[in-house]
Structure 1
Amino acid sequence: MPNSIKMIVSLVLACTSLNTQASELEQYFNTQQVRSDIQSTYGEQAINRIDELIDTLNNSKELSDKAKLAQVNDFFNSLIFTSDQKLWGKEDYWASPVEFVGAKGGDCEDYAIAKYYSLMELGFAEKQLRLVYVKAVEFDQFHMVLAFYPSRRANPLILDNIKTDIIAASRRKDLLPVYSFNAQHLWLMGKAKSGEPVGDAERLAEWKSVRTRFASSELKSPRRAL
């Protein structure tokens, strides 16, 4: 076999291997203990929702960035909005993505956090993503959205569970940013110079809590089923 053909065959086999290899997240969700824990905590239908999430991520891997954002945004926005008090019996509870999908819903922080982790799974850089705490002017209440920065100084795109179209932040006059953060840094709107962070995101107790629970696979049982 000519060397050139051997090289092509090798590349094809390598690509096939990469495309069929399960991601770390998929391997994690396919372990019997994890599936058993999810089912016992949230019910049999929760497994179907988890599998739908895995399919959504797998089917999005080869899409454009814009299409990936849309797929993730649409999947999570299909879940049910409810208050922390009704679902978890607490005034404020930031659910992990597994808890959010398992329970079939949550509030604004849960939508934003689940989208954040899912886009990271699809290969987006951490520096491109920020969870943004805002004032939703129309509802006169605080709210959380996810911002995607195509480049460092770009006008970010907003992924939201209230207004589901993904549009630039400059067009969201209904949102007044208060602060933003990712896994490492915290930014206070209007306080930082040149976009520099003002502190460590670990200062946010609920963010620290959800990251710890997600890493340890800890699951909280909902107060009521949706």
Structure 2
Amino acid sequence: MKWIVPACIVALACAPLQASQLASYITSPELKAKLQEVYGGRALQRAEAFSRLLTPRAGTTDQQKLELVNNYFNNLTYSDDPKLWGEEDYWANPLEFIGARGGDCEDYSISKYYTLMELGVDEKKLRLAYVKAIRYNQFHMVTLYFATAKSDPLVLDNINGRILPGSKRNDLQPVYSFDAKSIWIMKSRREGTLAGSADRLTQWTSMQTRFSSEHLRAPRRQL
């Protein structure tokens, strides 16, 4: 399977909450109070664990960061949106995902994407991708890491916890990829077309505007 990144979307725009702010924000008294109010006391423990994840040892490689982030978020609980949020399709931001202690594939992928940027992984190397999970016959989201613009990406996934190259994930059929700025539609496994701005993804733009303690949403049920 060939996963291709076109040169026209290599430049990545920053999200509203810049990655460099996240480490201090996650430990702020304001956010801690809000997390406890909305999600309960155990959410503070998860936030503390997340804060430790955001401060790796000096010299940690990209590969090690991928492993740390993938393992941390894959330990949270899978739950579909109607049961957890009472909506058919709700993209939680990382604070909501950690607070609720779980979510669906979009939530895993978005949280990994933001956290890797916070850890200093070059934003040009990261993508979010919609794929078809062939075994389950349903659409699915994963996070991609490209060592170079032309390399076979590594796939961070909550279905399969092993970080494997896209060429080894024949169970996934690429549909489109996107970042904070652009969308790329997969015409086939080897061809793709720039389809415009990521602003067309209403759930993506909505999630970014909710990235603060003022907009933390309580889940419909506790996990």
Indicate the TM-score class for this superposition, using the shorter chain for normalisation.
0.7 to 0.9
Distance 1:66 1:209, change over 3 A: same
2:150 to 148, 153, 172: 153
- Which runs of no fewer than 5 residues in structure 2 stay unpaired? 1-19
CA offset digits 1:49-79 (Å, max 9, x no partner): 0110110121255311101000000000000
Tell me the SS of whatever aligns to 1:198: strand
CA offset digits 1:110-143 (Å, max 9, x no partner): 0000000000101122221111001000001110
Higher helix content, 1 or 2: 1
- Within the alignment, does 1:29 sit opposite 2:42 as a pair? no
Distance 1:189 1:195, change over 3 A: closer
Cα offset, 1:198, TM superposition: 2.5
- Within the alignment, does 1:167 sit opposite 2:180 as a pair? no
Deviates more, 1:133-142 or 1:123-132: 123-132
Larger gyration radius, structure 1 or structure 2: 1
User: How well do the aligned residues superpose, as a CA RMSD in angstroms?
Assistant: 1.8
Q: Which residue of 1 aligns with 2:43?
A: 46
Deviates more, 1:79-88 or 1:57-66: 57-66
Distance 1:144 1:55 in 2: 26
Deviates more, 1:142-151 or 1:56-65: 56-65
Distance 1:109 1:54 in 2: 21
Q: Larger RCO: Structure 1 or Structure 2 (Cα < 8 Å, ≥ 6 residues apart)?
A: 2
CA offset digits 1:86-128 (Å, max 9, x no partner): 1001111000000000000000000000000000101122221
Identity of aligned residues (%): 48
Amino acid at match of 1:207: W
- Within the alignment, does 1:204 sit opposite 2:201 as a pair? yes
Q: Which residue of 2 aligns with 1:55?
A: 52
Scaled by the length of structure 1, what TM-score is found? 0.85
Number of residue pairs aligned between Structure 1 and Structure 2: 204
- Within the alignment, does 1:79 sit opposite 2:104 as a pair? no
Distance 1:26 1:140 in 2: 38
Contact 2:27 2:48 in 1 (8 A): no
1:69 to 59, 66, 80: 66
Contact 2:23 2:54 in 1 (8 A): no
- Which runs of no fewer than 5 residues in structure 1 stay unpaired? 1-22
Contact 1:134 1:143 in 2 (8 A): yes
Tell me the SS of whatever aligns to 2:215: coil
